[in-house]
Amino acid sequence: MLRVRSEIGRLRKVLVHEPGLEVDRMVPAMMEELLFDDILFGDRARDEHGQFRRLLQLLGVEVVEAEDLLAEILDNREARAWVFDVVLEHIATHTRSRLIEAPSVQLASALVAGMLAEPSHGRVETADLYDLAPLPNWCFQRDPQIVLGEGVVFGSMSARARYREALLSRAIFRFHPDLSEAPVLLDPIGSSAGLAHPTAPPRACLEGGDVLVFSPEVIAVGNSERTNREGIHALSAALARREGGPRFLIVVEVPRRRAYMHLDTLVTQVDRDACLLYPPVMLPGGGLEEARVFEVDLHASTQTFLPRADLLSSLGRHGIDLMPVPCGGEDPVTQHREQWTDGANALALSPGVILLYDRNIGTADALARAGFRVVDAKTLLLGREELDLADRGRVCILLPSHEISRARGGPHCLTHPLVRD
């Protein structure tokens, strides 16, 4: 069962992936292609991610590991054939022969962590290191799929290096018994999945970090470095006049900058009446970088994208009045620094209870001034304090983030909600 009709309803079930061998197998030459800004110390990243998962479980959230779902479907003969025909269509014959009889857990690991090539004296080219390249970005489960209501929209990743992630998501949602009944609202790459990474323009690109569900009636999508107009028009067409679907689509056109890779790096909702945001882009008067905003009525006979002043006023037109809490606080330098370290990328566990990276001190101070009690995750994990998501009250839980933040994705990026109240 899937159900996501907001960004803040109490989180019941969430999809994650622990950074595994794939981050240990990444070399510096791959950083640009894989959209990382550094290579990770895998053991430290796994420790931080482990604390994150344990905290979710402590607070009553069911945590689902994507690689476990992948291994489970590979016990299904039809699913395994689909993976070899589609996901692994172009691998070399010797690599295919190594995988064809592999146990499901081993095959799932190879699909995510990749496969190292046999050592060869004098090898210098990065591509020669692998028979199957690793997927370090798969820890960011926000992007390969988008759960809207009771259905799913599949992503179409902008980078060739992430294309296999989108196919693995399709395999899981197509074959896993817990997910296979979910209606597919949109598949931007359709029946061409797996033939090759499509490169001929115009190609629809749509990633989950650019889609925010503000209410059953209103969703926002970023026209960003990763999601293009073709992807947005495909989403609009798929949702148009859909019974039970959202009524309004708000498009936020953000500057094409590495720092602003997705809309959720610039704004996330943290309570019924509050959001974290990055002022230079998301507030009026922000200057040259200010986002342009458009809105379309999905129930209208003609899909017309009408200009709006900004995201918050557009949301306000539909009864969603959000107080902006500035990422980094009021200091412009801190705003710039903490937007880069995902200070605007919070995950709500329930209205007013959020997870944030602990390195974003200015943002935590701004949340404290807005009435949030700031708590270190370790105090909850060690039982020094208790928290009940059913209680009303604003709480910001700070997660350890020395290493995992180097991958450039915050708590919102690391998760994909499957069920929210």
Known catalytic residues are 413
Are 363 and 324 within 8 A, CB to CB? no
Task: Please tell me the distance from the alpha carbon of residue 191 to that of residue 198, in angstroms, as a whole number.
Answer: 12
CA 158 distance to own-chain centroid: 14
Backbone angles phi, psi at 93, to 5 degrees: -60, -40
Q: Taking the CA atoms of 122, 128, 132 and 135 in sequence, report the sign of the dihedral they define.
A: positive
